[in-house]
Structure 1
Amino acid sequence: MTVAVVDMFSAEAEMAFVETLRRTGFAVLRNPPLDAARMEKMARDWRDFFLGEDKWNYLAEETPSGNTSGFIPPDVSETAVGHDRKDLKEFFHIVPETILPARLADDAAAHLDEARKLGKLLLGWLDIHCGNALPADLRGQLAESLSPSDSLLRILHYPPLTGDEQPGAVRAAAHEDINLITLLPVSAEPGLQVMARDGQWMDVPGRPGDVIVNSGDMLQEASSRQLPSTSHRVINPPDAHSNLSRISMPYFIAPDLDIRLSKHHTAGSYLKERLDLLAR
């Protein structure tokens, strides 16, 4: 299994994107319409934020939509389904109306605007080429179903390793995303891997400025598994690089929660079921 790199300047970009998502659940977009210089600056600025003490003034709160907004420290970070150790990470959730430090707010807002537009474009490509695989409520409507209030920009910080980590703990244990699609700018530090169909792990290709796109569980449910939600993880760095932190900025694109994904689920009921499972 190979995750394809799709040049968005290519006349074949649309079909190449849909095909690699069908085969692998992942695609890498080259020359995406996102400001690469801004993304590099955001990575530097957010690394400084996480390494400072100001983050404790922005502890997360639940929003009316059920999302969390703000800083989530390592001691309350996630434990992936099927694992018994917390991931080695901390993160900040950004949704509409999130209060951000002034020095970070403008870049985050501009990046979110570009990411939403890119997400809508990609969902539109899936509308055209995968419409027959979708239920009536979503057929031809994926792009219009994008919900800014239910979608989420997560700024992740994987801190340097100290040697005191719990044995077996990793930066992000194997998991699948819950949402429709995820847009993930390629990090300057490696570590992201995807599981191939034979169960082997492989590095996801790409270079800074590229954007990784993957299908989430909601899209897999809506497409009767024609667009797979593939397991992925972030492994710990080798000892020579263990003193380096890693910044990741996934944008989890979700639909309106009353949209019907299948005869079994609306997006809202599917989300609740998955969150209940994570909370166990």
Structure 2
Amino acid sequence: MKRVLQRPPVGVARTAVLIAAARANEQRRLHRLFDDPLAEGLVAAAGSANDLNGVRTLAGDHFVLRTRYFDDQLLVAAQPQVVLMAAGLDTRAFRIDWPPGTTVYELDLPGLLEFKDDALRDLGAEPTCERVVVPCDLRDDWATSLIHAGFDPKRPTAWLLEGLFMFLPPVAGERIMHWVSALSARGSTLALEHVNRAFRELPQMKAVQQRFDTMDAGWCSDVEDPVAWLSGHGWHATVTHQVDLAARHERPVPAITDPREVGDARIWLASAVRTA
């Protein structure tokens, strides 16, 4: 008899299903930018993402390009510890060929991680690294939970903060950056996504914002200069524009990130090295 899964993601956790659905769609392409054979099964277990089709239509191509960008950043970093903040239904611990000895820590809400682990077991998934799940609320003391799970702040770390900061009030985002920085040995890396105010205020984003508001997932913050922001926390950062990313992978520029369509609005994709 098939086991009963934990409750499918609801509220802000539904955004994890949205991203998994975009990755599942990419998996169906012949010349795909990455492999994620588990994404479709996770979406099916969650009850599909049809309630967010409008968001996926608008931003699905961006989700695909950012996935490849962050995959590349993590592999180039090749750190012994990898921390996926707000991991959601991310399957990088299963689909990436990590260097021997890599430990991947996944942080997210307890209910979402329980659902994910149940679904992955039903899919027969096996991680390609040491995978450590850390149930926590990133608005609370997640750092203590991470250390108790075996994380060593004296070792270099690769941090991934994908699709997170815009959902947090500025104070909460600054608190996360404070602790990420405090736990990072020199030479650690991070990769993140954020947006500027012009992007939050795009007319094209109005319907998305309204949909997210009904899920308790409203966008609360933005940053105008991610390089300066990260420098203030002790990181040397660079930003990659989606125009360049799309050209690198021979894909069309997603309309939601095309300057010809959105002007000065930006979704920032940044990578950084710990210098302090």
What TM-score does the superposition give when structure 2 sets the normalisation length?
0.25
Would you tell me which structure has more strand in proportion to its own residues? 1
Would you tell me which structure has more helix in proportion to its own residues? 2
Higher relative contact order (CA 8 A, sep 6+): 1
